[in-house]
Homo-oligomer: A and B are copies of this chain.
């Protein structure tokens, strides 16, 4: 599969590239093509240490979107609108994975969803010709980016298109011990996205670092 990672120079995008590079071609997108190319070289060298011969292609965010069958939006909410404005055409007919949450920090971390109800719903509104799947919000980037760490936890998956959801579920199953769970239609992302600021609040009050969730 061809996977385009937007914002692949950050630790979350890097982590996904590392986890998926054994079996797929990964486009390492960056706002600056040269930075994307440089990081792809760095990642390839690091993965060789782990004995992984990775197919990574450094490029711009726009070309990562254009080249991927599945796109992961590994960007902060603040960067989402300009990204969509710049790449609307490239997004057409793609499966787009959103792990994005809109939050802010006051006395505690606050969940501040866009008026569409959730970030995933907002993206679906803005990209009616793409298929949005909401996933991977609760996976800690710090751990994801280290191929020697085995992750654990359930990954709720929300989306309105069964086939796209199955594709995302199978990709997540490739990451050892992560357990994708079908949580229903895309609107359920309204109930998944707030788990991220909840985890940040719990961490602030003394839970261990890099927490994930499990339904037991």
Contact = CB atoms under 8 A, between A and B. Distances in A.
A108 B185 contact: yes
Interface residues of A, number: 35
A91 to B, nearest CB: 25
Interface in A40-74: none
Contacts of A107: 185, 187
A157 to B, nearest CB: 9
- The number of times this chain is found in the oligomer is 2
A118 to B, nearest CB: 10
A contact face: mostly helix, strand, loop, or mixed: mixed
Interface of A: 107-111, 152-153, 156, 181-185, 187-188, 190-192, 194-195, 197-199, 201-202, 204-207, 211-216
6 contacts: A111-B190, A181-B205, A183-B201, A191-B195, A191-B198, A194-B194
Q: List 9 A-B pairs, minimum CB-CB distance, nearest first.
A: A191-B198, A191-B194, A184-B201, A182-B205, A108-B184, A214-B214, A211-B215, A188-B201, A214-B216
